[in-house]
Amino acid sequence: MSEKNKLVPEKGIHTDFLQKMTYGEYLSLDKILSAQNPLSGHHEEMVFLIIHQTSELWIKLMLHELNAATKLITQDIYQPAFKMLSRVSKIQSQIIQSWDILATMTPAEYMEFRDKLGNASGFQSYQYRLVEFAFGNKSKHILEIYKKDKELYDCLYEALYQPSLYDVSIQALAKAGLEINPKLLDRDWSEKYEEDPTVEAAWLEVYRNVDKYWNLYQLAEKLVDLEDWLQQWRFRHMKTVERIIGHKMGTGGSSGVTYLKKVLDGYLFPELWKIRTQL
């Protein structure tokens, strides 16, 4: 390299960190980068570990945004909530892309370490359950998986009995003067939401009078974005599992691909999809 092209360090760059916090310390990189502990000697297990660990970090951020947005909507504070929900959609797209990396693993490679997982499975991800609860996909029996850890169980139990993002959105429809079945406004939040004709009629009114219900219209589209991305995530999950293990039973005891295909048939915000045919 010629003298002309040599990089000259800038004089103001800090180099003395004996008494100062470093980048690695702020991010706790010592903990994060030492958390990958493969149980086999196979090269591919590191890919499997890191994909799932980073996904859990993204899900943690999703929950941070979803919980804050849900609270804001109950207070009729919409614009900051919309930004948070848009961020959740971007996070979802990021997680979806991670399946492409995992899909580079072949069936033969995965079989080299699959037995080391025992009964551990992504099905047991408590953060993913919290996301589903936040969206309104409630399930009491799923809590049985988490009885080993009382603190974790209590966290999920509390989330189970909180109104979901869709529940507070329905309440927002009622507050705007749209006719909503009163039973939906103070129901047992631990029960999975079932579609209701009054909610369908209310959303239809919103879409037919966009200017009048502009905030609710934007909210509806944010909800559709979230479910759209969630379904895409579920589909990529199912196809990646099928590609790597075929139709074997999952390590957590589920039917694997068969179970994942069934999940694709459900709707979280059914009325928002149904009204599209009527508009």
pLDDT tier, 19 (very low <50, low <70, confident <90, very high otherwise): confident
DSSP summary character for residue 39: S
Q: Is 15 annotated as a binding residue?
A: no
Q: Is 110 annotated as a binding residue?
A: yes
Q: Residues 68-113: pLDDT tens digits?
A: 999 999 999 999 999 999 999 999 999 999 999 999 999 999 999 9
What does the alpha-carbon distance between residue 257 and residue 114 come to, in Å, rounded to a whole number?
A: 16
Whether residue 165 is contained in a domain is answered as: yes
- The tokens of 40 are what? 């086999």
Q: Residues 31-59: pLDDT tens digits?
A: 999 999 999 999 999 999 999 999 999 99
Whether residue 237 is contained in a domain is answered as: yes
Backbone angles phi, psi at 105, to 5 degrees: -85, 130
Whether residue 188 is contained in a domain is answered as: yes
Residues whose CB is less than 8 angstroms from the CB of residue 37 and which lie 6 or more positions away in sequence, other chains included: 49
Q: Is 236 annotated as a binding residue?
A: no
Q: Residues 115-168: pLDDT tens digits?
A: 999 888 888 899 999 999 999 999 999 999 999 999 999 999 999 999 999 999
Whether residue 90 is contained in a domain is answered as: yes
What domain count does the chain have? 1
Kindly provide the b/e burial profile for residues 160-179, where b requires at least 16 CB atoms within 10 angstroms of the residue's own CB. beebbbbbbbbbbbbebebe
Position 2 scores a pLDDT of 59
CATH number of the domain residue 166 falls in: 1.20.58.480
* Containing structural domain, residue 82: 42-246+254-277
pLDDT tier, 245 (very low <50, low <70, confident <90, very high otherwise): confident
Position 4 scores a pLDDT of 63
Whether residue 33 is contained in a domain is answered as: no
Chain centroid offset of residue 135 CA:
9
Whether residue 260 is contained in a domain is answered as: yes
Whether residue 56 is contained in a domain is answered as: yes
Whether residue 20 is contained in a domain is answered as: no
Fill in the amino acid letter for 231: Q
What does the alpha-carbon distance between residue 161 and residue 39 come to, in Å, rounded to a whole number?
A: 37
Q: Is 114 annotated as a binding residue?
A: yes
Q: What percent of the chain has pLDDT over 70?
A: 97
